[in-house]
Amino acid sequence: MKKLIVLTLVMMCSALLTYSQKPAKVYVTRDISSESLIKIYKALGRKAKGKVAVKISTGEENNPNSLNPQLIKPLVDLVNGTLVECNTAYGGARGTFESHRQVIHKHGYDAIAKVDLMDEEGEYKIPVRDTRWIKYDIVGTHLKNYDFMINLAHFKGHPMGGFGGVIKNQSIGVASANGKANIHTAGRKEVVEGMWNMVDNQDGFLESMAAAAQGVADVFGKKIIYISVMNNMSVDCDCVDQPEAVKVKDYGILASLDPVALDQACVDIVFGMTPSEGDDNRPLMERINRQHGIHTIEHAEAIGFGTRKYKLISIDK
């Protein structure tokens, strides 16, 4: 009870602080190209230095929606980055390191850069500030090898989280398989045991994602940036082997130093679309609402991870 009261007070103080903050800057381009990806990276004004991890989702074997390797290659080359991922917790083609490597090769990621499965040599626990559900985050040991992270997310829907953006890419995406189980079960189960469907506390799962993402951010301090590519936006995540067809037209690329503002901006863009023939945002909106997806952003703001207030800044001429 005392821990709950303390957490509540911390969240209230964080919320009050957030309300007094200035809106975060979220940069946007409607041009989805390698040139614009580099341009928006430079607009952030935070140069990637040292050993750079570029966190992507490698996508399930037969899913065609993950980020195109040729789209991201020039940025990865510019920062001399390593693509990083971890194994899944639900089995599938990325459930073992050997089969995951095969998927990476099939999708062409190992042709553009070194790909590091960060939990291939073990895992370790990192602290989280919000311990209401998870007491720590479990990540791959290779996370220790990097000085800087570019969180390069593909914005889309998600069967359990409602949507996947930079917060999901940094929480579920950076967690080891056991870490994924820990987040999905809101701390109830820390070890994966075969195929599973563990989400029985939806808001606890969403809040655990926010807590885990903040824990990863604390590892890097100011040596982290956030980019979301809004294309191929199926209602299903890249982790779904046979996703629903894409019904929303590609929008653009957004970037920020504030992950909460960035995810909020992407959600607002989807909800602000006017549906038309060949461009129907309603299924994605319904998926986000059904899974209470906005709560991940709400909780992230409440624990002081960022602000939902933002100012869109176009980098297009």
Task: Give how far the C-alpha of residue 63 lies from the chain's centroid of Cα atoms, to the nearest Å.
Answer: 18
Over range 169-175, report the average pLDDT. 97
Range in 8-12, 49-53, 153-157 the model is least confident about: 8-12
Task: Give how far the C-alpha of residue 120 lies from the chain's centroid of Cα atoms, to the nearest Å.
Answer: 20
For strand 148-154 and strand 137-140, is the pairing parallel, antiparallel, or unpaired? Answer: unpaired
Total domains in the chain come to: 1
pLDDT at 131: 98
Q: What is the pTM of this model?
A: 0.92
Domain that holds residue 28: 2-314
> What CATH code is carried by the domain that includes residue 92?
3.40.50
214 vs 59: which has the higher pLDDT: 214
Angle formed at CA 170 by CA 47 and CA 38, multiple of 5 degrees = 35
46 vs 2: which has the higher pLDDT: 46
